[in-house]
Structure 1
Amino acid sequence: MFYRIAADGLVLFHLLFIIFVLCGGLLALKWRPLIWLHLPAAAWGVAVEVFQWMCPLTQWENYLRMAAGQGGYGDGFIEHYLIPLIYPAGLTHTIQIGLGALVLTINVLVYLLHFKQWKARRAAC
């Protein structure tokens, strides 16, 4: 039971990490120190997609599922709704390149906005 709950929690964390990779730059507009957490997370997200690396969260989740005696995902809420968001069917390398480019584009635009704000504040001083 513990391993299944831990695996489900890890899937939820994985989804939140993906959302942070995509949108964390926007949060950093409000809380500037968050930039130092978001930049490496965004770089990791781009690298995982572009180079097709296996995310360690996926490996840990699979380990926990096996330890729980599960051969695959069950029909619970997390498995039914969240896992298809993280692991969509038909994911190809071309799609992964596109996702990596999307993450990179979003974050470049957000950090250009950060730079513009920083420059405006600096000029006002």
Structure 2
Amino acid sequence: MAGVLAAATMVVHFGALLYIGLGGFLAWKWPKSIFLHVFFAAWGVLVNVFPVPCPLTALENHFRRQQGLGDLPGGFNDHYIIGVLFPADYIHVVAVGALVLLVVSYAGAYVRWRGRRVDADAMVAAR
């Protein structure tokens, strides 16, 4: 059972990372979702820049220890992403790309939100 829970935690962790990277684009459709995304994005920066443990990594490590396995070597990113999904030498390129995605998603959300406000104001004024 611990193996299934560790695998499920890993899947949830990948989902959280996708949301951190791309969730700002959801605010283009659902503007209020930006508040949840800001929390996730800040948390992602916090655990990757400062020595703050990620609760999902801690949870996966807990389930791994129940199986008699050790903690993830180097943590979640080092074990599953860096050197696996992209070469370790490109970490700075990936970080800049993630920042660009974040800025574009937030700028687009703001432009769309602003457009909706202008349209709503125009409708009110037309009455």
Q: TM-score range by the shorter chain?
A: 0.7 to 0.9
Question: Conserved in 1, the CA contact under 8 Å of 2:3 and 2:64?
Answer: yes
Q: How many Å separate the matches in 2 of 1:41 and 1:68?
A: 29
TM-score (norm 2): 0.72
The answer for the alignment partner of 1:41 in structure 2 is 40
Aligned length: 114
Q: Does 1:14 align with 2:13?
A: yes
Q: Shift in Å at residue 112 of structure 1?
A: 0.9
The 1:18/1:42 distance shift into structure 2, 3 A limit, reads same
Q: Does 1:60 align with 2:59?
A: yes
The answer for the alignment partner of 2:124 in structure 1 is none
The 1:114/1:13 distance shift into structure 2, 3 A limit, reads same
The secondary structure found in structure 2 opposite 1:32 is coil
Percent of residue pairs bearing the same amino acid type: 31
Q: How many Å separate the matches in 1 of 2:79 and 2:101?
A: 19
The answer for the alignment partner of 1:104 in structure 2 is 99
Q: Over aligned residue pairs, what C-alpha RMSD do you find?
A: 2.9
Specify which of 74, 78, 87 is matched with residue 81 of structure 2: 87
Give the unaligned 5+ runs of structure 2: 122-127
In terms of Rg, which structure is larger? 2
What code does the residue aligned with 2:34 have? I
Q: How many Å separate the matches in 2 of 1:48 and 1:68?
A: 26
Deviations 1:70-93 (A, max 9, x none): 3478xxxxxxxxx8884323747x
TM-score (norm 1): 0.73
